[in-house]
Structures are given as structure tokens and as C-alpha cells.
A and B are shown apart, each in its own frame.
Chain A
Amino acid sequence: MEGIYEPKMEAPKIKTVSKWNARIPYIIAYGTLGITTLPIILMYLWLLMSSFSTQMKHGVIPVEFTLENWRFLWTNVEMVGSVYPSIWTATWNSFVFAGVLTVLEVIIGVMAGYALSRMEFPGRQGIMKMTMMLHAFPSVALLIAVFFILNFMGLFDSLLGVILVKTALQIPMTAWIIKGFFDDVPWDLEWAGLIDGCNRFKVWYTIVIPIIKPGIAAVSIFSFLAGWSEFLLLYTFVLSDDNITLSTYLQKLISDPNLVNYGLLSAVSLFYMIPVLIFFIFTQKSLMQVSAGGGKGV
């Protein structure tokens, strides 16, 4: 008898998991994530509102809508007698800085990464360890030494000088990331290229480079963002207003704590963020590939 009834008793067990029970893990996860990210979201919201209002009541409630804070877009900002440089000069300089940095870094990084991944030469292991160490150095520690070198070379107070310094500091990491992508390209593909009539260099740029395109994209994005947000080196080694960048422009706005115009500061900060946001929207897909550990299924 029991043998007959047993299956009937077990069958409903499977069905009774209610919809709500199944959702509990999700509710907990989203709830926790939501609460922890709330302060950050509120901060950005405050930034946005403060840039469009004349003042913030009690520091949080916006009063009266205004575009006055965004006036830096069409005039040169003037505060207490001193005229700030044009925001467009700063934006252009930031773009030049980040752009040239990206190009240099990617070109050198891709070549170095290939050599580290594929070529046998004495000291290869040593170089790989050294590059990692170089990256571990905080750039602050190098500031004084770098100043002497730039001064000696006549590159002090020029964007090019800082670009070179920043490139040198960034290359180890770039080369390492790119090396990972090269490692994933099978030797067979390179050999096939050699047999099909290419020399080593041609194999590199007609076969291997197109395959690691996602890696190059990711590295480009990283280095552009690093260049865009660079502050310390620019602040230390660039003094003239002609060479000002957005990050140092922002610094200028808050340099005198008694005269800080928070509305203006918020507006410039938001302006500084816009290119990064746009960049992120278009490049998210490539960025994700890095965390996946490199190479697409080749």
C-alpha cells in the first residue's frame, strides 16, 4: 500500500515553491545593492541640482533655476578681479593630452606585449618582473626626480613633457594586459601565416593584431580615461594658463577656500564628466572583455 501512495505525497512538494519565495534572493540582493549605492546616486543628484540653481538652501534644497553657473561655456569666468582661462582651451588640452597618451601607449604597449608574450630573449623574465615593479611605484615618489629630468630637457611646463612621463608610467600595465591577449592567440595561427607567405612582421599586423582588437580597444579606453583624469603630474609640471587642462582648471576654482563658488564648481565638474560618460556608453562592451581574461574565442 505504501508503495502506491508515496509518489503522490512527493509530487506536490515540487510545485509549492511560491513566486515570492523564488524572488527572495533577488529582493535581498537588489535591496542591499540599492541601499549601498544610494549615497553615490544622491551625491550626483546634488551635483546636478546645484549646478542649475542660484543657491542651495540648508545645503540641500535647490532654490531658483538658473543657467548662470554654466556661463563658462560662452564667456571667460571672472572672479574677484582675476580672469580664468577659457574652458575650451582646457577641454582641448585635455583631449590632446588623453589622445596622444592613448596613441603612444597603445603603440608601444602592443609591441612590448607581443615581445613579452612571443619572443624568447635573454632577460625576458627579468623585464616582466621589473615592469610590474615600475607600476607599483606611486608617481608622487617620482615627482622630484621627474622634475629634474623635465627641466633638463626643457620640457617643463609643456604638455608633451607630462605626456611622456605619464606614458612611461602607464606602459607596464598596458603591456601586461596586452600580453594576456597575445598569449591567447594560438601559435598555429602565426605558423599558418608564415607558411602562407608572410614574414614575422606581416603576420603580426595582418593576422595577430586583428584578432586581439578587443584587447586593444580595452587598453585604449583605459589609457584615455587615465589621461582624462590625470591631475597630479599636470598640476606639478604645467603652470601656464595656455596649457591648462580640465582637471587643473577645476583645481583653480577651489584653490582659494574663501572664494569657492559651488554652483560653478558643480557645473564644471559635470562638464568634465560628460565625455567620460559618452565614452563609457559606447565602449562598455569592449571594456567588459578585459575582466573576462582576454581573447575572444579564436
Chain B
Amino acid sequence: MKIELKNICKTFNKQSNTINNLDMTINDGEFVALVGPSGCGKSTTMLMIAGIYKPTSGNLYFDGQLVNDLEPKDRNIGMVFQSYALYPHMTVLDNIAFPLKQQKVPKEERYERAKNAADMVHLGHLLDRKPSQLSGGQQQRVALARAIVKKPKVLLLDEPMSNLDARLKIEMREEISRIQKELGITAIMVTHDQEEAMTTADRVAIMKEGELIQYSSPMELYNRPKNYFVAQFIGNPPMNFLKSQLAVKDGKCQFYINDTTVDLNNHLPKIKSHNSIKDIYAGIRPYDLKLGQKGDITLDGVVSLVEPTGHSKMVNVKVGDDRIRFFADPLQKIERGSKITLTASISSIHLFDCESGENLTAETIGEGQDNKLVINS
């Protein structure tokens, strides 16, 4: 089912909007993740799609049909809550069969379908238990089975994995992806974990203070963050930022990091004035930094921390007043306090305006960014 949000606003008190003019389209069969810091309105958005909250203004369409005033029960959705919200007085089987009971499905068929759903999430052996007798991961599976049992058109997942331990999280992540693909269902997941969003979703919507900041595929988010907020939010470990200055003079563009001057081959259409100096952040992903001196720019620093992660070593380096991270080969000998030189290619550098946070390199490097996806810019 295609879901369209047009100019949606939601206010809980009169002073400020929790959701501000949200425009968003979720295509049929797509898996979309809503990500952002807590209080950014992602859960509110989801509850509006579920029909629990009514938008203050704006329209919500399911397959082109206006559903603003449609009751949740008539929307044909399944939802997994952060707290799982299992009915404590019912057995697992009754919990899963509950949505079917409300649809007046005959008893035998109801339990048959509930068992199938339970098998799908590997719960077949626990059907007679009460939710309180299950572990967190099992409860989560029950909630998932209950959400998919009536074959809904939309699956809503509200922080489905935040209460699971790290290993279980990865398992459930795969499970959810698999089930979503198998059923071909449209799914929306709210999460504050960018990694979860990147790995499971087809498209990720990044929200901040009730506004949609960027809405595009995970790779696009990673490679072409629209602004400073997205850049520091996406990627683990986060992008390194170095304070620097950008100078435009006589149509030539240069910026300075660490005594190195970098030429930007003239194209920076986002800067309007032709003779100016701007404070910027230069962002480089930890994975794009290498030891050595062969790249376009070099950085000299002192190693302040080395953290082995198994397949590589994460190294914390002090460059000037900034701290940056990069990954080194585990066999390489790097000691705390030693001086090293790092290098990166110019194409891996993102420049962000210090004031507006805007990505100044987006147009040069990120050419062909799909403007249709980036609504509300």
C-alpha cells in the first residue's frame, strides 16, 4: 500500500508543532525507517499513520484514499510496540489469534492461521504460555506474529528492538527483514539506532524537531549527507569533523586543513558571493582515512587511544585541537603517543557550513541527487 503524508502538522499544545509540515511518500512494499534523536516526532508520525493520533492539519492518504478520519481498526495495519504490548491475560496463541477474532474468523481457521504465524517467527512450541513466562526476545516474536497474522497492508514497528541485547538485535533485524520481504508488505520502522535503520530499510527518513531533514536510501545518506546533522548522525563510528576555513577568490575555491591548502577545482555553486571566507567543518569518514602521505591531503597528529576491534584497530588521533578516529590494520604497530601522518582523497571530504550546517559539497560531489526524494528542503 502506498502511503502519502501531505503537509501534516500535529500539535499537542498550542505553543509549538510536534510535527511541522511533513511531506513524505512511502511506496508499496517499501521498508522505510524513521530515525532521529528522541523527541523528534518519529513516534508521533507513526501513531498518526496508525490512526491513534489525528493530524492537526494536512492529509494522509492510503493508496490515494484520504484516511484522516478512518479508525485504526479499519486501516488494516499491524503494529509492534516498543513494550510489545502483549495482552497479559491471554496465552501466546490467543494473543496471536486476537486480531483474527476481531475479524470474526471462525475458530478453527483462526487458530490454524495463528499457528502458521507463530511458526513463521519460530514460536510453535510456546503457544500455551502466558506472556509473562517468556523472555524478551520471545515476547518480541509474539508481538511480531500478532502484527502479521491478519495479513495487514502495512506493518508498523515502533522501536521493535530497543529492549533486546546486541546479539538478539542482529537476529531479529534479519528476521524482520526476511518476513517483510516474504510478505511483500509495506513496513515503517521507528528507531533511534541509525545502524538498525541503515541495515534494514530501503529508505531512511531522518527527522529532527518535527521536520524531515533527509529522506533517501541508506547509501545516499552515507555518501551524500545533506547537512551537518545527517552527517554526524549516520555512520558508526561517526564522521570526523575538522574546523577549517573556505576561501573563494577570483572564482577559485580553496580550503585549509592543518596547514594544507586544498584546491576545489572551481566548482562550488552553493556559494554565492565570489570573494569571501567562510568557517566550515570538513568531514571525513573514519574508513576513508589511511596511514601514509600519498593522498590529496595529509594530516599530522598524535595517537591518543588505540582500540582493537578484532578485524581492525580503531585509533583515536589528536590533530591540532580536534580529535579524529580512523581504522588501521590490526597488524600495524601503533602506539599511544606516537606521531603519525594520515591521508585522504579529496573526493571523500564533505564540507559543511558552520552556521547553517548545509553540505557545501553536495552539488559538486553528490551530483544527480534525486530531488523528488528530498522533500521539505
Q: Are A199 and B132 in contact (CB under 8 A)?
A: no
Residue of A nearest to B82 (CB): A188
Tell me which residues across on chain B come within 8 A of A202, comparing CB atoms.
102
Tell me which residues across on chain A come within 8 A of B146, comparing CB atoms.
192, 196
Cβ-based interface call for A211 (8 A)? yes
Q: Are B87 and A188 in contact (CB under 8 A)?
A: no
Q: Are B89 and A210 in contact (CB under 8 A)?
A: yes
Residue-by-residue, is B71-93 near A (CB-CB < 8 Å gives 1, otherwise 0)? 11101011101110101110000
The complex places the Cα of A193 from the Cα of B50 at a distance, in Å, of 12
A interface SS class: helix
Residue of A nearest to B149 (CB): A196
Q: Are B98 and A297 in contact (CB under 8 A)?
A: no
Cβ-based interface call for B15 (8 A)? no
Number of interface residues of B (CB under 8 A): 26
Tell me which residues across on chain B come within 8 A of A191, comparing CB atoms.
47, 50, 52, 72, 79, 81, 85
Instruction: Give chain B interface residues in 121-156, CB to chain A under 8 Å.
Output: 132, 146, 150, 156
Cβ-based interface call for A108 (8 A)? no
Tell me which residues across on chain B come within 8 A of A257, comparing CB atoms.
none
Q: Are B77 and A197 in contact (CB under 8 A)?
A: no
Tell me which residues across on chain A come within 8 A of B81, comparing CB atoms.
188, 191-192
Q: Are B89 and A198 in contact (CB under 8 A)?
A: no
The complex places the Cα of A159 from the Cα of B375 at a distance, in Å, of 70
Q: Are B52 and A188 in contact (CB under 8 A)?
A: no
Tell me which residues across on chain A come within 8 A of B82, comparing CB atoms.
188
Q: Are A199 and B47 in contact (CB under 8 A)?
A: no
Cβ-based interface call for A189 (8 A)? yes
Residue-by-residue, is A178-201 near B (CB-CB < 8 Å gives 1, otherwise 0)? 000000001011011111111100
Cβ-based interface call for A111 (8 A)? no
The complex places the Cα of A192 from the Cα of B244 at a distance, in Å, of 51
Q: Would A211 and B89 be within 8 Å (CB), given that A188-B82, A191-B81, A198-B102 are in contact?
A: yes
Tell me which residues across on chain B come within 8 A of A197, comparing CB atoms.
73, 99, 102-103, 150
- Contact partner of A195 among B73, B83, B88, B89, CB < 8 A? B73
Q: Are A188 and B50 in contact (CB under 8 A)?
A: no
Q: Are B88 and A298 in contact (CB under 8 A)?
A: yes
The complex places the Cα of A200 from the Cα of B132 at a distance, in Å, of 25
- Contact partner of A188 among B51, B77, B85, B98, CB < 8 A? B85
Tell me which residues across on chain A come within 8 A of B47, comparing CB atoms.
191
Task: Return B109 CB to nearest CB of chain A, in Å.
Answer: 16
Tell me which residues across on chain B come within 8 A of A211, comparing CB atoms.
87-89
Tell me which residues across on chain A come within 8 A of B98, comparing CB atoms.
196
Instruction: Give chain A interface residues in 261-298, CB to chain B under 8 Å.
Output: 297-298
Tell me which residues across on chain B come within 8 A of A297, comparing CB atoms.
132
Cβ-based interface call for A207 (8 A)? yes
Residue of B nearest to A189 (CB): B85
The complex places the Cα of A199 from the Cα of B47 at a distance, in Å, of 16
Residue of A nearest to B84 (CB): A188
Task: Return A192 CB to nearest CB of chain B, in Å.
Answer: 4
Task: Return A182 CB to nearest CB of chain B, in Å.
Answer: 15
User: How many residue-residue contacts, CB under 8 A, span A and B?
Assistant: 61
Task: Return B141 CB to nearest CB of chain A, in Å.
Answer: 15
The complex places the Cα of A207 from the Cα of B90 at a distance, in Å, of 9
Number of interface residues of A (CB under 8 A): 19
Q: Are A207 and B52 in contact (CB under 8 A)?
A: no
Tell me which residues across on chain A come within 8 A of B156, comparing CB atoms.
195
The complex places the Cα of A213 from the Cα of B89 at a distance, in Å, of 10
Residue of A nearest to B72 (CB): A194
Tell me which residues across on chain A come within 8 A of B71, comparing CB atoms.
194, 199
Q: Would A195 and B103 be within 8 Å (CB), given that A186-B83, A189-B85 are in contact?
A: no
The complex places the Cα of A195 from the Cα of B153 at a distance, in Å, of 12
The complex places the Cα of A197 from the Cα of B51 at a distance, in Å, of 12
Q: Would A192 and B89 be within 8 Å (CB), given that A197-B99, A198-B73 are in contact?
A: no
Q: Are A189 and B87 in contact (CB under 8 A)?
A: yes
Instruction: Give chain B interface residues in 163-181, CB to chain A under 8 Å.
Output: none
Residue of A nearest to B76 (CB): A197
Task: Return A269 CB to nearest CB of chain B, in Å.
Answer: 41
Tell me which residues across on chain A come within 8 A of B85, comparing CB atoms.
186, 188-189, 191-192
Residue-by-residue, is A21-65 near B (CB-CB < 8 Å gives 1, otherwise 0)? 000000000000000000000000000000000000000000000
Task: Return A149 CB to nearest CB of chain B, in Å.
Answer: 42
Task: Return A207 CB to nearest CB of chain B, in Å.
Answer: 6
The complex places the Cα of A239 from the Cα of B79 at a distance, in Å, of 61
The complex places the Cα of A126 from the Cα of B300 at a distance, in Å, of 68
- Contact partner of A194 among B73, B87, B103, B132, CB < 8 A? B73
Instruction: Give chain B interface residues in 56-73, CB to chain A under 8 Å.
Output: 71-73
Q: Are B87 and A195 in contact (CB under 8 A)?
A: no
Tell me which residues across on chain B come within 8 A of A193, comparing CB atoms.
87
The complex places the Cα of A189 from the Cα of B98 at a distance, in Å, of 13
Task: Return A297 CB to nearest CB of chain B, in Å.
Answer: 7
Tell me which residues across on chain B come within 8 A of A194, comparing CB atoms.
51-52, 71-73
Task: Return B100 CB to nearest CB of chain A, in Å.
Answer: 9
- Knowing that A194-B51, A197-B73 touch, tell me 9 more A-B residue pairs with CB under 8 angstroms: A188-B82, A191-B81, A191-B85, A192-B87, A195-B75, A195-B78, A195-B79, A196-B150, A210-B89
Sort A-B residue pairs by CB-CB distance and give the 6 closest, nearest first. A197-B102, A188-B85, A192-B85, A196-B99, A210-B89, A194-B72
Chain B residues proximal to chain A, CB less than 8 Å: 47, 50-52, 71-73, 75, 77-79, 81-83, 85, 87-89, 98-99, 102-103, 132, 146, 150, 156
Give 10 pairs: A residue, B residue, CB < 8 Å, sorted on A: A188-B83, A191-B85, A192-B85, A195-B50, A196-B98, A196-B102, A197-B102, A198-B102, A210-B87, A213-B89
Chain A residues proximal to chain B, CB less than 8 Å: 186, 188-189, 191-199, 202, 207, 210-211, 213, 297-298
